[in-house]
Structure 1
Protein backbone atom coordinates (compact mmCIF):
# COMPACT_ATOMS: atom_id res chain seq x y z
CA UNK A 1 0.00 0.00 0.00
CA UNK A 2 1.28 3.42 -0.95
CA UNK A 3 0.92 6.54 1.16
CA UNK A 4 0.46 9.94 -0.42
CA UNK A 5 3.70 11.95 -0.27
CA UNK A 6 1.73 15.19 0.03
CA UNK A 7 -0.86 14.41 2.74
CA UNK A 8 -0.07 10.92 4.07
CA UNK A 9 -3.37 9.34 3.02
CA UNK A 10 -3.21 5.57 2.44
CA UNK A 11 -3.85 4.79 -1.23
CA UNK A 12 -5.36 1.32 -1.42
CA UNK A 13 -7.74 1.46 -4.40
CA UNK A 14 -7.34 2.74 -7.94
CA UNK A 15 -9.94 5.38 -7.11
CA UNK A 16 -7.57 6.84 -4.46
CA UNK A 17 -5.12 7.91 -7.18
CA UNK A 18 -5.43 11.00 -9.40
CA UNK A 19 -7.46 10.02 -12.46
CA UNK A 20 -6.95 6.38 -11.42
CA UNK A 21 -3.22 6.57 -12.28
CA UNK A 22 -1.55 4.17 -9.84
CA UNK A 23 1.92 5.30 -10.96
CA UNK A 24 1.44 8.60 -9.08
CA UNK A 25 2.83 8.86 -5.56
CA UNK A 26 0.18 11.36 -4.43
CA UNK A 27 -3.57 10.94 -3.94
CA UNK A 28 -6.61 12.33 -5.71
CA UNK A 29 -7.04 14.95 -2.96
CA UNK A 30 -3.59 16.38 -3.67
CA UNK A 31 -4.05 16.52 -7.43
CA UNK A 32 -5.29 19.24 -9.74
CA UNK A 33 -8.05 18.33 -12.23
CA UNK A 34 -5.41 17.50 -14.87
CA UNK A 35 -3.79 14.97 -12.51
CA UNK A 36 -0.70 17.00 -11.67
CA UNK A 37 0.17 17.57 -8.02
CA UNK A 38 -0.99 20.72 -6.25
CA UNK A 39 1.62 23.30 -5.30
CA UNK A 40 2.64 23.81 -1.67
CA UNK A 41 0.39 26.86 -1.44
CA UNK A 42 -2.61 25.03 -2.94
CA UNK A 43 -2.18 22.05 -0.61
CA UNK A 44 -1.70 24.30 2.42
CA UNK A 45 -4.95 26.10 1.63
CA UNK A 46 -6.93 22.89 1.08
CA UNK A 47 -5.47 21.19 4.16
CA UNK A 48 -6.16 24.29 6.27
CA UNK A 49 -9.79 24.24 5.12
CA UNK A 50 -10.01 20.51 5.85
CA UNK A 51 -8.71 21.06 9.40
CA UNK A 52 -11.23 23.87 9.93
CA UNK A 53 -14.11 21.63 8.73
CA UNK A 54 -13.09 18.51 10.63
CA UNK A 55 -11.61 19.94 13.83
CA UNK A 56 -13.36 23.30 14.14
CA UNK A 57 -10.15 25.28 14.59
CA UNK A 58 -9.79 28.97 13.76
CA UNK A 59 -8.14 29.94 10.45
CA UNK A 60 -4.80 30.74 12.14
CA UNK A 61 -4.76 27.58 14.28
CA UNK A 62 -5.76 25.40 11.33
CA UNK A 63 -3.09 26.97 9.13
CA UNK A 64 -0.47 26.33 11.80
CA UNK A 65 -1.63 22.73 12.22
CA UNK A 66 -1.58 22.19 8.43
CA UNK A 67 1.96 23.56 8.16
CA UNK A 68 3.07 21.30 11.00
CA UNK A 69 1.58 18.23 9.27
CA UNK A 70 3.01 19.14 5.89
CA UNK A 71 6.56 19.69 7.11
CA UNK A 72 6.72 15.98 8.01
CA UNK A 73 5.70 14.77 4.53
CA UNK A 74 8.17 13.92 1.73
CA UNK A 75 6.64 16.21 -0.90
CA UNK A 76 7.29 19.33 1.17
CA UNK A 77 10.76 18.64 2.59
CA UNK A 78 12.37 21.27 0.35
CA UNK A 79 9.71 23.93 0.97
Structure 2
Protein backbone atom coordinates (compact mmCIF):
# COMPACT_ATOMS: atom_id res chain seq x y z
CA UNK A 1 0.00 0.00 0.00
CA UNK A 2 1.37 3.43 -0.89
CA UNK A 3 0.26 6.54 1.00
CA UNK A 4 2.04 9.69 -0.04
CA UNK A 5 5.78 9.09 0.23
CA UNK A 6 5.29 6.01 2.46
CA UNK A 7 4.82 2.34 1.64
CA UNK A 8 3.47 -0.45 3.84
CA UNK A 9 4.67 -3.91 2.87
CA UNK A 10 2.44 -6.81 3.84
CA UNK A 11 3.53 -10.44 3.73
CA UNK A 12 2.02 -13.80 4.55
CA UNK A 13 3.51 -16.22 7.06
CA UNK A 14 1.80 -19.60 7.53
CA UNK A 15 2.62 -19.97 11.25
CA UNK A 16 1.85 -16.33 12.05
CA UNK A 17 0.48 -15.31 15.45
CA UNK A 18 -0.52 -11.64 15.73
CA UNK A 19 1.07 -9.62 18.50
CA UNK A 20 -1.41 -8.42 21.10
CA UNK A 21 0.39 -5.15 21.91
CA UNK A 22 2.90 -4.26 19.17
CA UNK A 23 1.29 -2.42 16.26
CA UNK A 24 1.82 0.23 13.60
CA UNK A 25 0.11 3.61 13.90
CA UNK A 26 -1.14 5.56 10.91
CA UNK A 27 -1.54 9.32 11.16
CA UNK A 28 -4.66 10.61 9.39
CA UNK A 29 -6.04 14.10 8.85
CA UNK A 30 -9.65 13.27 9.79
CA UNK A 31 -9.97 10.55 12.43
CA UNK A 32 -13.78 10.59 12.44
CA UNK A 33 -13.89 10.15 8.67
CA UNK A 34 -11.51 7.18 8.92
CA UNK A 35 -13.56 5.65 11.74
CA UNK A 36 -16.75 6.04 9.69
CA UNK A 37 -15.14 4.48 6.58
CA UNK A 38 -13.99 1.45 8.59
CA UNK A 39 -17.36 1.09 10.34
CA UNK A 40 -19.17 1.19 6.98
CA UNK A 41 -17.02 -1.80 5.92
CA UNK A 42 -18.06 -3.69 9.05
CA UNK A 43 -14.72 -3.21 10.81
CA UNK A 44 -15.14 -2.65 14.53
CA UNK A 45 -13.16 0.16 16.12
CA UNK A 46 -12.11 0.48 19.74
CA UNK A 47 -11.72 3.88 21.31
CA UNK A 48 -8.55 4.49 23.25
CA UNK A 49 -7.57 6.99 25.90
CA UNK A 50 -6.58 10.24 24.19
CA UNK A 51 -2.96 11.23 24.61
CA UNK A 52 -1.93 14.86 24.95
CA UNK A 53 -2.49 16.49 21.55
CA UNK A 54 -3.58 13.22 19.96
CA UNK A 55 -6.89 11.49 19.24
CA UNK A 56 -6.73 7.78 18.45
CA UNK A 57 -8.52 4.47 18.04
CA UNK A 58 -7.61 0.87 17.29
CA UNK A 59 -9.02 -1.84 15.07
CA UNK A 60 -7.96 -5.30 13.95
CA UNK A 61 -7.11 -6.22 10.38
CA UNK A 62 -8.53 -9.46 8.91
CA UNK A 63 -5.54 -11.41 10.30
CA UNK A 64 -5.88 -10.12 13.87
CA UNK A 65 -3.15 -7.49 13.71
CA UNK A 66 -3.80 -4.43 15.83
CA UNK A 67 -3.78 -1.15 13.87
CA UNK A 68 -3.85 2.30 15.42
CA UNK A 69 -5.11 5.45 13.70
CA UNK A 70 -4.18 8.83 15.16
CA UNK A 71 -4.95 12.49 14.51
CA UNK A 72 -2.74 15.23 15.87
CA UNK A 73 -4.62 18.12 17.45
CA UNK A 74 -1.76 20.61 17.41
Give the alignment's TM-score, normalised by structure 1.
Answer: 0.27
Which is higher, the Rg of structure 1 or of structure 2? 2
Give the alignment's TM-score, normalised by structure 2.
Answer: 0.29
Instruction: Give the number of the structure whose residues are more often strand, by fraction.
Output: 2
Q: Which has the higher contact order (CA 8 A, sep 6+)?
A: 2
Instruction: Give the number of the structure whose residues are more often helix, by fraction.
Output: 1
